[in-house]
């Protein structure tokens, strides 16, 4: 009996678990997640935090879903080591689990630019169910939010915060507006479009200081701005979560290096979703991917290949965001329109 182990409880991991169960009714399937909450619709987290929507309505699969499919779900159990030499993984509480085939879907974490690292204790993150629950609990006390950096998660927050009557300042730094196809001309269009929605945009500026002030925060920038705010939230892109693979021997660069079939350099180990850096023969190069669309496709494809298929991962499909009538191209995100809400 094969034992398939999946690291990561997001879209890629859950789709893979379902595909493996459909293709192999007798196998053991174990899904391990560091997140304490169940798999949720992440694209709806911002609306949940700013409205009366219940968290249960965001859950994609309840406990019975896993029970019916005989998938062992292990929440709040971070993996700290992968050892392909003996086909085992080590959990934070020191339990070692062996596998026959392993799929890494560890996803991404927030990228904290070096210039913001001294102020990390004052800056909140927003990407998980836990983050959304905590922000919702604070929402009644928040009148003004300052977003630091600029990315698609920030846009989703803006789309929820403005209709809730919150004031928003975006300190748009000099980094790429992840995961957009972006240059200086596009950045100017983005800043103008967001300004038309009522967002205060500080373009090509970055934070030089964050300190507590009057129950909130005072954010200072290189350009001389002094922003009194209730909340500072990091929105500066995401990077693959790979720390637990440091001594695994698995080849990595920005993400886990995989071939077009999502196979890593270690035998019987695959990777999919936001943590994977995929080789595409048509480009003769590697590409990282992000977002729900890519995770969905790659999770299913990786599972089929684990069961013997030899399918190639497709290139990312572009999506569109619309703000004040302006369209912007992004990869891996389905996209949405701020114009529909504001």
Scanning the chain, the segments in alpha helix (DSSP H) are: 11-23, 45-50, 63-68, 129-138, 152-161, 184-196, 292-306
Two domains, one topology: 3-107+241-306 and 112-237+319-340: yes
- Residue whose token pair is 């035998």: 267
Alpha carbons 17 and 12: distance in angstroms, whole number: 9
Token pair listed for 130? 């836990």
The per-residue pLDDT for 289 is: 83
The Cα 149–Cα 152 span in angstroms is 11
In the predicted structure, residue 99 carries a pLDDT above the cut 90 = yes
Work out the pLDDT band at 200, boundaries 50, 70, 90.
Answer: very high
Burial class (CB in 10 A: 0-12, 13-18, 19+), 342: middle
pLDDT class of 177 with cuts at 50, 70, 90: low
Class of domain 3-107+241-306: alpha beta
CATH fourth-level superfamily of 112-237+319-340: FAD/NAD(P)-binding domain (3.50.50.60)
Q: Is the pLDDT of residue 182 over 80?
A: no
User: What are the backbone angles phi and psi of residue 53, rounded to the nearest 5°?
Assistant: -60, 140
Q: Where are the domains of the chain?
A: 3-107+241-306, 112-237+319-340
CA distances from 299 to 13, 89, 94, 230 (A): 6, 20, 27, 39
User: Quick one: average pLDDT of 45-64?
Assistant: 91
The Cα–Cα gap between 295 and 14 comes to: 10
Task: Name 80's bridge partners.
Answer: none
Are β-strands 88-91 and 96-98 bridged in parallel, bridged antiparallel, or unpaired?
antiparallel
């Amino acid at each position: 009996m094969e034992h398939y182990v999946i690291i990561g409880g997001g879209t890629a991991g859950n789709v893979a678990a379902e595909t493996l169960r459909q293709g192999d009714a007798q196998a053991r399937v174990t899904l391990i997640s560091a997140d304490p909450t169940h798999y949720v619709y992440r694209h709806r987290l911002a609306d949940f935090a700013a409205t009366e929507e219940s968290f249960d309505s965001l859950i994609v699969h309840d406990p019975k879903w896993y029970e019916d499919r005989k998938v062992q779900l292990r929440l709040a159990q971070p993996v700290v080591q992968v050892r392909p030499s003996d086909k085992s993984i080590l959990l934070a509480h020191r339990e070692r689990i062996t596998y026959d085939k392993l799929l890494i879907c560890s996803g991404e974490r927030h990228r904290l630019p070096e210039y913001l690292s001294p102020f990390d204790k004052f800056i909140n993150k927003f990407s998980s169910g836990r983050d959304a629950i905590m922000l919702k609990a604070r929402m009644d006390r928040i009148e003004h939010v300052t977003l630091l950096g600029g990315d698609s998660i920030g846009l989703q927050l803006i789309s929820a915060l403005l209709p809730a009557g919150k004031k928003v300042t975006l300190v748009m730094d000099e980094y790429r507006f992840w995961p957009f196809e972006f240059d200086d001309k596009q950045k100017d269009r983005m800043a103008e479009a967001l300004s038309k929605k009522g967002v205060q945009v500080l373009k090509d500026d970055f934070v030089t200081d964050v300190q507590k002030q009057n129950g909130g925060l005072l954010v200072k920038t290189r350009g001389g701005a002094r922003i009194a705010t209730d909340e500072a939230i990091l929105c500066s892109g995401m990077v693959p979560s790979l720390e637990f693979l440091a001594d695994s021997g698995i080849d990595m660069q920005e993400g886990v290096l995989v071939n077009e079939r999502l196979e890593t350099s270690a035998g019987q180990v695959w990777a999919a979703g936001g943590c994977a850096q995929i080789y595409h023969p048509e480009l003769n190069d590697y590409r990282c991917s992000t977002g729900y669309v890519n995770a969905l496709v790659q999770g299913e494809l990786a599972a089929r290949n684990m069961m013997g298929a030899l399918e190639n991962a497709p290139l990312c499909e572009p999506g569109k965001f619309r703000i004040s009538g302006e369209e912007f191209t992004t990869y891996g995100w389905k996209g949405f329109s701020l114009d529909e809400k504001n």
